[in-house]
Structure 1
Amino acid sequence: MKQLQKHYPHLLAIIGFIVISLVYFYPIIQGKKIYQSDIAKYTGMAKEQIDFRAENHTEPYWTNSSFGGMPTYQAGANYPNDYIGMLDNAIRFLPRPADYLFLYFLGFYVLMLVFRVDPLKAFFGALAFGLSTYLIVILGVGHNAKAHAIGYMPFVVAGFILVFRKRYLLGGILTMLAVALEITANHFQMTYYLLLLLIVMGFFFVYQLYKEKNLKSLPKILGTFAVGIILAVGVNATSLMATKEYTDFSTRGKSELTFNTDGTKKEANIAMDRSYITEYSYGIVESLNLFAPRLFGGGNNEKLTEDSHVYNFMLNYGASPEEAHQLTDNYAVTYWGDQPQVAAPAYIGAVVFFLFVLALYHDERKIKYAFLAGAIFSLLLSWGKNLSILTDFFIDYVPMYDKFRAVSSIQVLLELCVPVLAIMGLQSFFTNDENRWKSLWKTSATTLGIIVLLFLCKGMFHFVGEIDSQLIEALKQHPDKSFGPQFIEALKDDRRDLYSADLLRSGFLITITFGALYLYIKNKLAANTAVILVGVFMVCDLFFVDKNYLSNDGQQFRSAQEVAVPYQPTQADSLILQDTTNYRVYEVAGGIYSPRSSYFHKSIGGYSAVMPRRFKEVYEYQIQKSIADLGSIIDPKTLSITKSLSVLNAFNIKYLIVGTEKGDIPIVNPFYNGNAWFVKDVYFEKSSDDEIKVLGQIDSKYVAVTQDRNWSKLGKPRKYLTDSLATIKLDLYKPNHLIYTSNSAGDGFAVFSEIYYKNGWKATIDGKESAIFRVDYTLRGMQIPKGKHTIEFKFEPQVVKTGSTIVLFSSIIMLLVIIGGVYFDRKRIQNSSS
């Protein structure tokens, strides 16, 4: 009974998290599902593997429906012996996206318990963390893996702190499980950022050990971490090994090309272009929207009301109310920050900010400096190109930093550290009565002083966004040439109003929070009443801001069927699907960044942040250029292709989907090469630069190009004798299993319109293994002896087999460690109580 009473508050907190998670996304209770744009795109490109899994009850580990072909390692592949994944599913038992919201709450609550925060304050702190605007918005757009990884961050930090507190068994087990679950989330950018935070915090803890003259405990601490991390990595071995293998093949690997598409020299020392890495950099002053959400206009899709300057400007200009609404909604972009586009501001809450400052003044625990350092570190790196001296150093010298883009997202560390400090401040205010009033008025003076200063500095801001020039260009069609500039002036007035309104809003929230704590000091409010009031202010503040960017309306939540089947076939798709042969489709309007066509066809488009690097380069350097002027290759009368495009032909693109005034139409490419073909010549080039340049000059139907380093492996002359009767055709297609039949009078060299991937694909000719060569920069080539032969390709990745074995043994050892740890910890407690 005593144990039940002891854990009763925690049980209530967990039940509260479940209820709030479900109520927050209440349409899921009605059977609806959240429509997430990124997940719809993922569904498009993953359709082939999902269908294969359902039909064959096994994983293909390869798909041909996107980018011409790629492994599914970063596209939702399921691996054998994934027991940690089963644990993850058990924790996230609620329907999506309530499962991620619950995970946010639970993780932060556990971290607060490590700080010995009482359940009530920990409960409100967890709600404030989980409702941080950025964390909610990523659920709306479908950044599920990111949300997943963020949800486990507090667990990892909690275990980390416990180990440094010398709670080796409990801390070690928590760290081990938390790191394992963090890796399972499969968002390595977030996990990498978490590692950076732990390094920053590690310096603090080691310094504390040094001050306490207790460095002798460091080997035991490091040993505990080593065991936990090794096992955490072990139970995720398959995923990690497969990702490591695929990374160099993907856009996160370093390119062998030394020039850009425009001919300029490429940076050779980083995985991705510096401009691409730092494209989303937080503005230095823009960071102030952490405590005043629309200081820089909010998000790109912010909606103005009928009281806005833009709306009234349109009415005064003679527009009808409907026209005024339409133009305001379509053109009145209020965001004027430094980033290309923003779904919502990274708002952590005015009350959270107030309590954060309170912690700096009032909390006497030195650990606050570790979290403060983590927050500042995160903020500085989020500025990206706006603080290039620091960002360039990390890109050039810090391992793996150049493999991640959107540097502004490192602010997730700040969004963890600041709420931790806020709840530390709230807790210390009620437990430490020394200098309580002094800390409170200093906090109020600091936070309200910032608000007042920003009001005074309002005239220093120009309220002009990068989008404004585009808006003026779009509005040039209006007969009155002054219309565009006047519209922008009205829009700037609305931005000024948002700036002032949100400063007043934050100032009001800070004032009433101060009032509640002041009344507690004066014994006008009981402690729990004051905590509840502050907690309600804090949560309601975030709740109402969040609802501006993620609502429960019909746009965001739809029927389960609509979410499961996000794309409907167009007339063009239906016509193409009548062709039951094996071919690829290129949807011109979407390029390679549209996964819609992948849902219905084998496509060269798709949706992935880690698409095959060589294919992307072929697209950008050759395909994109070759079809830049569609009018030159398509007869407008017959709607037929009049010019052979060698690179398109090599990718077996039989159909192009082209947009017209009458809608999308399919155009047959009569020049496509088919699934495989014999070539007459093989050109050998010295470098990747030469290979990709020549690729646009050859006729891929008759000539293949490769690099000199393959010459010794080929051991054959450059020219091959082919006859008009030589054939090679595809007899069986599965994404991971292809069978061809060839027949030729002489030895030949065949090119297969399949993406070359050196790991996992095995080829046999009449059952005897044969070498596969990379040709045409991305495709497969093989030497085929004369006569009739059966050629078979199978994708059987060794990395999955090896990784699954490691996972099995690591899982067994992890289970034994947990059982042993629980046993010895209970024994320790019994001994200490006797």
Structure 2
Amino acid sequence: MKNIDWKKGLPHLVAILLFLGLTITYFSPIMFENKDMAQADLISGAGWGNDAKQFHEETGEYTFWSNAMFGGMPANYAYMPRTNNIFERFSKLVMFNLPPIHVGVVFLYLAGFYIFLLALGANPWLSIIGAIAYGLSSYNIIILEAGHVNKALVMATMAPVLGGILLCYRKKFLWGSLITLFFTGLNVLWNHQQISYYLLLIIIPLAIVYFIFALREKKVKDFFLSSGLLLVIAAIALLPAADRLIPTADYSKETMRGGAVLQQTATGEKSGKSGLDIDYAYQWSYGRLETMTMLIPNFYGASSHYNIGRDSETYEALKQTGQAEQFSKHAPMYWGDQPFTSGPVYMGAIICFLFILGLFVVKGPEKWWILAATIISIILSWGKNFMVVNEFLYNSLPLYNKFRAPSMALVIAGVTMVALAIIALRDILKAEDKKAFIKPLYYSAGITGGLCLLLALLGGSLFSFTSASDVNYPQWLLSAFIEDRQGMLTGDAWRSFFLILLSAGGLWLYLNNKLKASYLMALIGLLVLIDMWTVDKRFLNNDHFMPKQVAKAIKPTQNDLLILQDKDPNYRVLNLSTNTFNESATSYFHKSVGGYSPVKLRRYQDIIDFYLSNRGINMNVLNMLNTKYVIVPTENGSTVQQNPDALGNAWFVDSLLWVDSPDDEIHALGTLNPATMAVVEKTWKENVTVEPVVVGDSASIVMTQYTPGKLTYQSHSDKARVAVFSEVFYKTWRATIDGQPATPIRVNYILRGLEVPAGQHEVVFECVDELYLKSARWSSIGSIFVGVILFSLVGLLIFTGLRKRKETN
């Protein structure tokens, strides 16, 4: 105990306790009142893999297939908990096992950024300020309210990964290796590849800048030594996530993010190369002027469902209608370029001011890689609003066309802007010549504060304050919207102006020896906390918390209850009363034709585009998917219609139509009667030895047993027949007839087919993902290996620390 430097460790203990206190206070309704957030995306996505989850809860076994949505999909992307991954169990420690996980994420935001800033050479008190600025930045909080927990987890690892890398480049190899390995492992384990990609877009300019400085200082050997070590660490960090990375890489080829199957789309256009369609991918593009929300949060009206309050013009305008109270709580104040938004990306007025100050005062490599990454972030976030660059990047950057919502790229700036802001304070507090910083202070305060003042005075007259969606509202209500939007911009412009004025004033007093450094840090820390906390509370406050049983409840509608009375559960439901292919509530109770998933099978999307979209619904396609019930909208809500022509779980066809290509196959479905004929691509011909003939009444094939990943049928026929199954074809399904392996074929573009011999037979389809099983074994072994390395590094750090202290004494 005598060898412990308690004085040196005290600030870190204070930081941990403060981060815990802030997190617990913000989420006090969860921690102390047994409440939770509804988290819309989690609720809407609850149906994804719900049958797989129920199967596990009932049997203790996992299934590789879920039939909940889109006719069926691999389940290990929706519900496949790890059971033997030791490293994942370690991951909970860094969040102090705070329940539920989204509370722990905020602590990890704070702690992770604190580590990053310490690695940048900031003192603990400045690091605390920066951690608060980052951890409470608006986007980081808003995504938790929406339910984007995995995204938030991976974002929380970005800063500490960068911190570990910086330590390695500064030859602090033990600490650098420990931090980089642990947090990179978490980054890939928590599996949000788009955020990991953005992290890489920070690391690349960082490495380039450090290489340039190494050339200047003739330290290229040191650079390559550190870089080589980091590459080894990165490779090792991938091991615990092998059960995610390897199957995902394989499966993605079959999804919308993979290559096109067809030569022509449903609209007759030539299919693009692999990746998402650029128009779809760039829907959520940040407007160029919208970037001002980083400085002024309500510049663009905040949110598409903003609580504008009773003191608003909107509330006054609606008073006579009796709708003012309810409408004003979810008012469409946002008037930017995105289809809709839950809130702005606000970096903090003080952080923006200090970031600009950092561009003037910070020297060395940090400024340049931070500036480069920030510019990349903003340009990427503009998406379709800066196509002269972004179209080229979309078609040229490796893997970039697999991702959507370019506005998300601002997570890079979220890290880099806070970093440079704190580095600026670090350098100012370390400098002996304080007077050298006065002019840069004037410049940066003038740029940011002056812009805020200009918008506070004139902003209400500079813009239209209208959006394309405003056409849905009468002019008298739109006029109220415009007045409120004007007030929101000018009000927040004044707010940002005074925050910048106060923080710049504190810096001016310090530079003129009228304020101590400790008081300056306390002032800026308090202002940053007030700034970020109060903006966050606009978008996630106590009104968003409700009793747990209410927050997470998914109640069946009357239509659901009516359908569930069917004693045969093995049918599908098409819900046309909602956004059919962008919701999964239906999948929570039924096997749905629709759904929502970012990893939808490419072939299924083609079927939607051709036969289940705005072009019209083809009943034969619904019949072959065994769509027994259709929920249709009515004037008073919705109602259920039964489809008497649904073809059931399996049937024999009397003829096959052989075609040359997938395009021919999908076009043939437009006129095909799937009850009697199946269309098959000629590549499967070697798996069919008999031509179907007309089936007599005695021939039948029926499902006798069902689990999500194993389907059993009994067949009876006088001759060998080709059976069609109303199940989505995928390569992980294996077929047997009376226990002997059989080869299924793909028919009707997406369904399974199988040649069944004459007589009575048991046909079994079972989904076994061999690649996943192998990857899971590698993942378990890899997690142990990484754990051993991490414990070894901790041991070495303790040993070297004790030895240094002994030598010093």
TM-score by length of 2: 0.94
What are the equivalent positions in structure 2 for 1:256-275 lying under 5 Å apart? Answer: 256-261=261-266, 263-275=267-279
Residue equivalent to 1:148:
153
Residue equivalent to 2:295:
291
2:767 to 786, 795, 805: 795
Return the offset for 1:528: 1.5
Q: Quick check: 2:261–2:602 contact (8 Å CA) kept in 1?
A: no
For residues 471-497 of structure 1, give each alpha carbon's deviation from its aligned partner in whole angstroms, at most 9, with x where no partner exists: 3xxx3xxxxxxxx2x543443233222
Q: Quick check: 2:68–2:591 contact (8 Å CA) kept in 1?
A: yes
For residues 433-477 of structure 1, give each alpha carbon's deviation from its aligned partner in whole angstroms, at most 9, with x where no partner exists: 421323322222222232245455764433232222233xxx3xx
Q: Quick check: 1:73–1:243 contact (8 Å CA) kept in 2?
A: no
Work out whether 1:769 is the aligned partner of 2:741. yes
Q: Which amino acid is the alignment partner of residue 596 of structure 1?
A: A
CA distance in 1, matches of 2:141, 2:206: 26
CA distance in 2, matches of 1:812, 1:85: 10
For residues 21-57 of structure 1, give each alpha carbon's deviation from its aligned partner in whole angstroms, at most 9, with x where no partner exists: 1110111121111110011122222321111111222
Percent sequence identity is: 33
Residue equivalent to 1:535:
525
TM-aligned CA distance change 1:224 to 1:305, over 3 Å: same
TM-aligned CA distance change 1:240 to 1:830, over 3 Å: same
Work out whether 1:170 is the aligned partner of 2:175. yes
Return the offset for 1:625: 5.3
Residue equivalent to 2:121:
116
SS at match of 1:162: helix
Work out whether 1:24 is the aligned partner of 2:23. no
Residue equivalent to 1:351:
350
Residue equivalent to 2:400:
401
Q: Which amino acid is the alignment partner of residue 61 of structure 1?
A: F
Residue equivalent to 2:712:
739
Q: Quick check: 1:741–1:790 contact (8 Å CA) kept in 2?
A: yes
1:714 to 673, 685, 688: 688
What are the equivalent positions in structure 2 for 1:627-706 lying under 5 Å apart? Answer: 645-661=619-635, 663-706=637-680
What are the equivalent positions in structure 2 for 1:136-215 lying under 5 Å apart? Answer: 136-215=141-220
Q: Quick check: 1:720–1:749 contact (8 Å CA) kept in 2?
A: no
Return the offset for 1:190: 0.7
Listed as ranges, the gaps of 5+ residues in structure 2 are none
Residue equivalent to 1:446:
447
Work out whether 1:576 is the aligned partner of 2:580. no
Return the offset for 1:65: 1.2
CA distance in 2, matches of 1:830, 1:492: 65
For residues 150-172 of structure 1, give each alpha carbon's deviation from its aligned partner in whole angstroms, at most 9, with x where no partner exists: 01111111111112222223212
What are the equivalent positions in structure 2 for 1:799-810 lying under 5 Å apart? Answer: 799-810=771-782
Q: Quick check: 1:349–1:541 contact (8 Å CA) kept in 2?
A: yes
Return the offset for 1:250: 1.7
Return the offset for 1:391: 1.0
For residues 218-246 of structure 1, give each alpha carbon's deviation from its aligned partner in whole angstroms, at most 9, with x where no partner exists: 44223212221221111111111121121
CA distance in 2, matches of 1:796, 1:397: 36
CA distance in 1, matches of 2:222, 2:744: 54
CA distance in 1, matches of 2:797, 2:334: 54
Q: Which amino acid is the alignment partner of residue 72 of structure 1?
A: A
Q: Which amino acid is the alignment partner of residue 656 of structure 2?
A: V
CA distance in 2, matches of 1:562, 1:329: 20
Work out whether 1:754 is the aligned partner of 2:727. yes
Work out whether 1:414 is the aligned partner of 2:413. yes
TM-aligned CA distance change 1:33 to 1:353, over 3 Å: same
Moved more, 777-786 or 364-373: 364-373
For residues 301-331 of structure 1, give each alpha carbon's deviation from its aligned partner in whole angstroms, at most 9, with x where no partner exists: 223344444445x37xxx627355566667x
CA distance in 2, matches of 1:266, 1:559: 51
Q: Quick check: 2:648–2:726 contact (8 Å CA) kept in 1?
A: yes
For residues 718-737 of structure 1, give each alpha carbon's deviation from its aligned partner in whole angstroms, at most 9, with x where no partner exists: x4342221111111100111
CA distance in 2, matches of 1:248, 1:73: 16
Q: Which amino acid is the alignment partner of residue 494 of structure 1?
A: D
CA distance in 1, matches of 2:431, 2:439: 12
Return the offset for 1:627: 5.5
Q: Quick check: 2:276–2:401 contact (8 Å CA) kept in 1?
A: yes
CA distance in 1, matches of 2:792, 2:209: 31
Work out whether 1:814 is the aligned partner of 2:804. no
CA distance in 2, matches of 1:456, 1:568: 49
CA distance in 1, matches of 2:493, 2:687: 69
Return the offset for 1:662: 5.2
Return the offset for 1:568: 1.2
Q: Which amino acid is the alignment partner of residue 150 of structure 2?
A: A
What are the equivalent positions in structure 2 for 1:15-94 lying under 5 Å apart? Answer: 15-29=17-31, 30-92=33-95, 93-94=97-98
Q: Quick check: 2:374–2:413 contact (8 Å CA) kept in 1?
A: yes
Q: Which amino acid is the alignment partner of residue 735 of structure 2?
A: A
TM-aligned CA distance change 1:469 to 1:604, over 3 Å: same
Q: Which amino acid is the alignment partner of residue 345 of structure 1?
A: P
What are the equivalent positions in structure 2 for 1:348-387 lying under 5 Å apart? Answer: 348-387=347-386
Residue equivalent to 2:430:
431
Return the offset for 1:809: 2.7
1:595 to 564, 573, 584: 584
CA distance in 1, matches of 2:12, 2:577: 53
CA distance in 2, matches of 1:458, 1:267: 45
TM-aligned CA distance change 1:811 to 1:569, over 3 Å: closer
1:728 to 701, 724, 729: 701
TM-aligned CA distance change 1:16 to 1:830, over 3 Å: closer
Q: Quick check: 1:721–1:747 contact (8 Å CA) kept in 2?
A: no
For residues 749-785 of structure 1, give each alpha carbon's deviation from its aligned partner in whole angstroms, at most 9, with x where no partner exists: 0111111111x22111111111111111111111101
Return the offset for 1:665: 2.9
Q: Quick check: 2:178–2:794 contact (8 Å CA) kept in 1?
A: no
Q: Quick check: 1:654–1:670 contact (8 Å CA) kept in 2?
A: yes
Return the offset for 1:123: 1.2
1:549 to 532, 539, 543: 539
2:254 to 246, 249, 264: 249
TM-score by length of 1: 0.92
CA distance in 1, matches of 2:437, 2:765: 73
Q: Quick check: 2:87–2:787 contact (8 Å CA) kept in 1?
A: no
Return the offset for 1:551: 1.3
CA distance in 2, matches of 1:820, 1:658: 62
Q: Quick check: 2:621–2:669 contact (8 Å CA) kept in 1?
A: yes
TM-aligned CA distance change 1:624 to 1:285, over 3 Å: closer
Residue equivalent to 2:320:
320
For residues 167-224 of structure 1, give each alpha carbon's deviation from its aligned partner in whole angstroms, at most 9, with x where no partner exists: 2232123212211100111111111111122112111111111111111224422321
CA distance in 2, matches of 1:570, 1:824: 60
CA distance in 2, matches of 1:422, 1:448: 16
SS at match of 1:213: coil
SS at match of 1:390: helix
- Number of paired residues? 796
TM-aligned CA distance change 1:144 to 1:467, over 3 Å: same
Q: Which amino acid is the alignment partner of residue 385 of structure 2?
A: N
CA distance in 1, matches of 2:325, 2:560: 35
CA distance in 1, matches of 2:654, 2:310: 70
Residue equivalent to 1:607:
596
CA distance in 2, matches of 1:433, 1:713: 82
CA distance in 2, matches of 1:439, 1:625: 58
